Amino acid sequence: MFIPKLYKSEDYDLMKEIISENSFALLISCKDKIRATHSMMMLNEDKAENIFLETHLSRANPQAKSLKNGDTVLCDFLGAHTYVSSSWYDHVNVSTWNYEAVQIYGNVQLMNHDELYVHLEKLTSKYEKTQKCPMLVKDMGNEFVEKEMKGAFGIKVIPTEIFIKQKLSQNRKDSDFQNIISHLEKSDDNARKIAEKMKSIKN
């Protein structure tokens, strides 16, 4: 990911926020051919100095069939993003896009049976716990879970490089910056979130 110095972040908490709120991300690999799969990812953060990502694919997916221990993959997370119109500036310029993103390069570590079970347990709990009648792995019956697990291919991604980008009109003068915020606050949820992020970097 190309990140001009102005937009580069090393904020670990921001990285966690982007990944947590935008977990349906792209897993990209390049072996016999470039392959990409949208998949649910979780950040294991038991130890800040020893983080890794977890995800799983269908075993029928050609990408799963091609991945081996030690392979390099890219995990791409797009956070809040919105269009910024050049009509909001007090001078002629180009329109652009404000956004937050995380890209993590890492090495694949294949999950064993028990690791895959725990991964599915955690993933299901994360998204089911807010339901009125949550259906957790422990409620599904061991026979059913074991059968379904045969079709799942679990991996860990051990980071080798982490890139965090926060492009929030940092290159604009204050009057244009404030005008962008005013327009975004009148738009959709993503735009309003970017407006809040823009206000936070000026505090």
Q: Is the pLDDT of residue 17 over 70?
A: yes
Residues 59-91 pLDDT 10s = 999 999 999 999 999 999 999 999 999 999 999
How many angstroms separate the most distant Cα atoms in the chain?
66
Type of residue at 52: F
Q: Is the pLDDT of residue 131 over 90?
A: no
Angle, alpha carbons 180-183-184 (nearest 5°): 85
Contacts of 73 (CB under 8 A, 6+ apart): 27, 28, 29, 67, 105, 106, 107, 108, 157
What is the C-alpha separation between 91 and 81, in angstroms, rounded?
23
Confidence of residue 92 (pLDDT cuts 50, 70, 90): confident
Give the helix ranges, DSSP H, for 104-153. Answer: 113-128, 142-149
Average pLDDT over residues 137-151: 89
Output DSSP code: residue 137. G
Q: State the CB neighbour count (10 A cutoff) for residue 15.
A: 22
The rounded percent of the chain whose pLDDT value lies above 90 is 82
Is residue 77 a contact partner of residue 25, using CB atoms and an 8 Å limit?
Answer: yes
